[in-house]
Amino acid sequence: LVEADIPFAGGLVQVVDNLLVPPAQLAGTAEAFGARSFLGSLYAARLMPALAVRRDVTIFAPLDDAYDLVGGTLRGLNASRLARVMDYHVVPGRVLSSAQLANGTGYDTLATDAAGKPARVLVRQEGNSKFVNAARIVQPDILLANGIMHIIANVLNPDAERAAPDPSAATQAPAFAVSTASGVFTSDLPCTADCPATTTAATATGGADSSGATPTTASSLFSSTSRGGGARCTAHVLGAAVGMVGLGAGVAWM
């Protein structure tokens, strides 16, 4: 803010030193902040693209490194169990900045417990660090078009609500059994510019069609990194390329 409260006939003008950019959509922001596997798991669980347009959400997005550590375990979950895990990373109906994540406060998520009640995450503060259950928040307050996202260092487990951090440890134990798998769920991301365009392949058959041109089959339109859910190539367009870190609370969190 360069100059504040300049009156004019219709109200006040606030002069800032840069162009204000609206917050981006979830998909582009998650990729920009190193949560590509998280985004892929949302697609695998069929929570996207609906989550991207759900209003007023707080999302806790694990880093790709967190997925690499337990990716084999998560890949072994069936669709309904994976959806429950992913739902546990979303607090609906609230846009909670890091300043509002108070020590000892629990928040209902989209996931449910065995009794059918909302499963809760618990925020803890140890020194300058805040944790969601036992997962450290490593990058807070990333604004989204429909809410806010906080990057966390571990994948949350709805069956481990009582998981607590060890503040003396540099890294926290994962909430799932360790089973490493690199780039897990990235094949479930929808096609983007990485998918080849449709082409025709010339053949030397010499048949009635002298050109010998045959349409490329659908299976050849996708690279090996776009198998599975990635083959749902649509006109899906990501929002802005980069998310927006907001609310001035991103210092001293690493």
pLDDT of residue 50: 97
- How far is 178 from 192, CA to CA, in rounded Å? 31
Q: What is the residue extent of each domain of the chain? A: 18-191+225-245
More confident of the two residues 250 and 85: 85
Higher pLDDT, 247 or 22: 22
* Identity of the residue numbered 107: Y
Buried b (16+ CB within 10 A) or exposed e, 182-211: eebbbbbbbbeeebeeeeeeeeeeeeeeee
CB atoms within 10 A of CB 129: 15
Note whether 60 and 135 are within 8 A (CB). yes
Q: Is the pLDDT of residue 24 over 80?
A: yes
Q: Which one is predicted more confidently, 237 or 31?
A: 31
Distance in angstroms (rounded) separating the CA atoms of residues 7 and 9? 7
Write out pLDDT tens, residues 61-110.
999 999 999 999 999 999 999 999 999 999 999 999 999 999 999 999 99
pTM of the model: 0.75
Residue-wise pLDDT tens digits, 181-230: 999 999 999 976 555 554 444 444 444 343 444 433 333 333 333 434 43
- The token pair at 146 is 């429909």
The tokens describing 133, both together, are: 């259950």
- Domain 18-191+225-245 is found in CATH 3.40.1710.10: no
Q: Which residues, other chains included, contact 44 with Cβ-Cβ below 8 Å and sequence gap of 6+?
A: 79, 82, 185, 188, 228, 229
Q: Considering only 34-48, 136-150, 163-177, which range has the smallest mean pLDDT?
A: 163-177
Model confidence over 129-139: pLDDT tens digits?
Answer: 999 999 999 99
Q: Which residues pair with 24 in a beta bridge?
A: 144
Residue 126: CB atoms within 10 A of its CB come to 14
Take residue 61 and report the two structure tokens written for it.
């997005």
Around Cβ 51, how many Cβ atoms within 10 Å? Answer: 23
Q: What is the pLDDT of residue 191?
A: 78
Give 13's contacts (C-beta < 8 A, 6+ positions apart): 6, 7
pLDDT of residue 184: 96
pLDDT range class, residue 167, cuts 50, 70, 90: confident
Count of CA atoms in the C-beta half-sphere (13 A) of 74: 34
Where would I find the beta strands (DSSP E) of 16-128?
57-62, 90-92, 106-112, 118-126
Across the chain, mean pLDDT equals: 83
Query: What's the distance, Cα to Cα, between the start and end of the chain in Å?
Result: 26
Rounded mean pLDDT, 11-33: 94
Q: Identify the sign of the CA torsion 139, 132, 149, 97.
A: negative
3-state secondary structure of 195: coil
Preceding omega of 22 cis (within 30 degrees of 0): no
Q: In whole angstroms, what is the distance from residue 183 CA to residue 76 CA?
A: 15
Q: Quick check: 60 and 132 in contact, CB under 8 A?
A: yes
Task: Answer whether residue 249 shows pLDDT above 70.
Answer: no
For position 195, what pLDDT does the model report? 59
